[in-house]
Chain A
């Protein structure tokens, strides 16, 4: 059991999520209902898309803190286009294109010019927000046409067209990362860039694509945002990039690159959103939200960190098992090694 949860971040996160739902359900009857699940799902869509995009970038061992501004910029383009009378599909296409272009600039800076990703995207974080404000003249974009708002309407089973889009992105990402060769390259580049280069993997191109993907995801998040809210304020998406990074870390995406899965991010975003919704149910004043979300995030990560340390210690002990072996250890005796492993894991528990 310990092994399974220690090795498999997704499994442990899933268990924690279920447990949390159970506890909140016991404390606030009525929480566990189809309606809650639908609300949580709908509330998580924007963060979900941003987190998926950020995941691509983090897996390649970079970081993207500009995604909130990309969301704002592309949503503004969408709103302006719609209000100028451009048809919905065309406007959405334009919006995604703008997001991808914004991501491409990030990617060009990082992969092309070798600017550290934190620096590059901190710069474009301001750049894109400024561009958005210039486009909108600092005014909110209101009175969006009904066509876009209807995307968010319930289809009868608790989900909307937007839910379907996000689920498709989720499935597509999962398939791409786990089942395709190019998806494997993302992990390879993040794990050991030199090694990837050595094997002829186009490392720069992969990094660039990750940023473009992140930009496109952020633009889709902008579409969802516009459809759900019905207007586009200046600060649309402000600060969501940090939430997305937190969701990634919680979902088992290593900031050191090379590790992560779409499933983990999916569950972690649901978990974080569920906590927000639960606080409403528990009648805790809304200004506690961030505090409690932060505290939970910290405790989960610290617990996970402890488990990881214990695991590392095991691996280390295994590698140096001969050091424990006693006199007859020359042919690294498996039993002895196993024994010493148990000792060390007991000690750390």
Chain B
């Protein structure tokens, strides 16, 4: 009995050590890949991309549906097209970045070895992630299921990347951008507290405005209306409204949850 328990402990410790080393290998890998992203749910979207990934940096060349390049360099984000790059005030995170983020925060929920690859499951507030990673630490597929929306990132080709960031960046004409996209700071701060958002154009009176509907990390819905002029924003009975006047814009924050609105107020006050 004692021997059986000892053997079980050895197997457990060995698997844990192997799992750790394989995860470390994956997190520290540099690779080039061609991949397809498909999102199915109330709305569908898909992308075809080429990705160059280093442990901390990334260059993604989106081929379809738009021709666009975005890059992460030392925590800063740049996006645009060759010779027209601008700093992105918001983080740009693909499904792999979100998986790694949750992997680091939540840890592995379940680990399985299937043939020569690992199936890693991470259950997180941002969704249930399942990743298939080879023994060499290269990704094959990452799937997220969240609120009836399934997002799949499938790598059709992956190879070890020997070039450095600067070499690839030079090829794409990526330099440190001089200009930053003009995004009201309040929107940036509020979007840092949400899981996802949708954006649409809306007409209020004679004014064309932008409506952002986001899912706050607390689970409640938060809306923002950005306008260049002061407009009358109608709210439901259970909604609270916060009006902010910026330099050349007006922002209206609408929340159903009073505590969420208080959080937003506190966040904005702290940053001013």
- Decide if A and B are genuine partners: no
